[in-house]
Chains A and B, each alone.
Chain A
Amino acid sequence: MRNSQPESPVSSISTRLPGAHAALTQLFESLRPDLLRFAHWLARDRALAEDIVQESLLRAWRSRDALKEPGAARAWLLTIVRREHARLYERKRLELVPLEDVVDTQASPRLAEPDGDLFTLRHAIMRLPLEYREPLVLQILGGFSTEEIARELALSPTAVLTRLFRARNKLRVICGMAAAPDVVEGAP
């Protein structure tokens, strides 16, 4: 799928272009671990996350003129990664199998590990439906505000609050706490 693309778009570009371009390349490269982690939590698959980040960096490079402030690069790139994931998800959704089929068979031996609680929580986060996982990942890893998430997901801020509430409420139950009474989506 990626045969026609360079192994590392950022690195390849840096060898061709001097000066400011090299600085931008370095900036992108420094953010790559964050982007990979972000993509990984969205896609739940390492190889897919790498593809997403690779494609996102290519897209980012092509539209680099849109980046006015280096300080905005992280949020800008994360947004591109999210959209690339959304595109890939749309293309691949028919090939997906339920994560439970895989996770359930792998989870039990690990629950006895010293970090079993965190392991359980990681699995619980992965098993969240995308509509809940996505705003949570944007908030926790991306550092986006509720309003920013609402803009990115084309939702109302109240709908985002509801989804974040439900995401944490589900994780709360997994962690052995009582579920809080649900809220009505769209209600204040």
Chain B
Amino acid sequence: MRCEEARLQIGAEPASASPALEGHVQSCPPCREFRDEMRTLDANIRRAMEQPPQSAAAPATGGARTRARGPVVAWRQWALAASVTLATFAVLALWLLRPGESLARDVVAHVRDEPESWLAAQHVDAAGIDKALRGAGVELNITSDKITYAQSCWFRGHYVPHLVVQTARGPVTVLILRHEAVSRRHEFHEAGLTGVIVPDGTGSLALLARGSGNIDDIAGQMQQDVHWLPQGT
């Protein structure tokens, strides 16, 4: 086997170990090194693909609309987005340095991955909310004009509704977690953020807001507004 053939085989199928390939790499240190590198890379590719691409995979049809806006408006929006994003990262990074309950950490990490969710100002229409709730087995009582962000997000192995609800104390992130049962209320007051996870239905609701105030009233309201449908509906 020639080096070119060996490298094609290794690059295409790093885990392959045919007798011919094994014979070649044992006698060819550069190809052996190449295989080691490609196996390491392949392990990382598999890790990277374990999760869906998240929000970085922007809607394929939305770019033209964004680009059609004026440059000044666009610059302001990006400046605002960058400021809020950096501030959010800084605050969340401080929070993440503290030990905490793993579900709460994952909630925070998820919100960190979608900082744009805090920026949304326009309400999501009913179709958008329905789409976010699709397959989650819940219905909402809440009026759509209070919801400024609604996505179905990949979280701990399931797609879950991720909402941002406008409340009297500002935007509050709500994750509806059918698959995350908790036995009791779990509250966080960390670095300028408030989080609470409450049992609800067969799972739980996770809420996250800026500031240090109590959000139990909002959690209570959400518990009333979220209706869990029987499994399989």
Are B57 and A45 in contact (CB-based, < 8 A)?
yes
Total A residues in contact with B, Cβ cutoff 8 Å = 64
Q: How far is the CA of A15 from the CA of B229 in the complex (A)?
A: 14
Smallest Cβ-Cβ distance to A22: which chain B residue: B232
A60 within 8 A of B: no
Closest-CB distance, A185 to chain B (whole angstroms): 10
B42 to chain A: which residues have CB within 8 Å? 168
A8 to chain B: which residues have CB within 8 Å? 134-135
Are A164 and B11 in contact (CB-based, < 8 A)?
yes
The residue from A15, A118, A160 contacting B12, defined by CB atoms under 8 A apart: A160
User: In the complex, how many residue pairs between chain A and chain B have their CB atoms under 8 Å apart?
Assistant: 158
Q: Contacts A36-B159, A106-B56, A177-B41 hold; do A161 and B8 have CB atoms under 8 A apart?
A: yes
Are B52 and A97 in contact (CB-based, < 8 A)?
no
Q: How far is the CA of A106 from the CA of B45 in the complex (A)?
A: 20
Are A181 and B4 in contact (CB-based, < 8 A)?
yes
Are A109 and B131 in contact (CB-based, < 8 A)?
no
Smallest Cβ-Cβ distance to A121: which chain B residue: B48
Q: Contacts A11-B233, A37-B154, A171-B41 hold; do A164 and B12 have CB atoms under 8 A apart?
A: yes
The residue from B49, B89, B151 contacting A125, defined by CB atoms under 8 A apart: B49
Q: Contacts A33-B158, A106-B58, A161-B8 hold; do A46 and B151 have CB atoms under 8 A apart?
A: yes
Chain A residues in the interface with B (C-beta under 8 A): 7-8, 11, 14-15, 29, 32-33, 36-37, 40-41, 43-50, 92, 95-99, 101-103, 105-107, 109-110, 117-119, 121-123, 125-126, 136-137, 139-141, 146, 160-162, 164-166, 168-169, 171-172, 175, 177, 180-181, 183, 188
Chain B residues in the interface with A (C-beta under 8 A): 4-5, 7-9, 11-14, 34, 37-38, 41-42, 44-49, 51-64, 67, 78, 82, 85-86, 89, 130-131, 134-135, 151-154, 157-159, 232-233
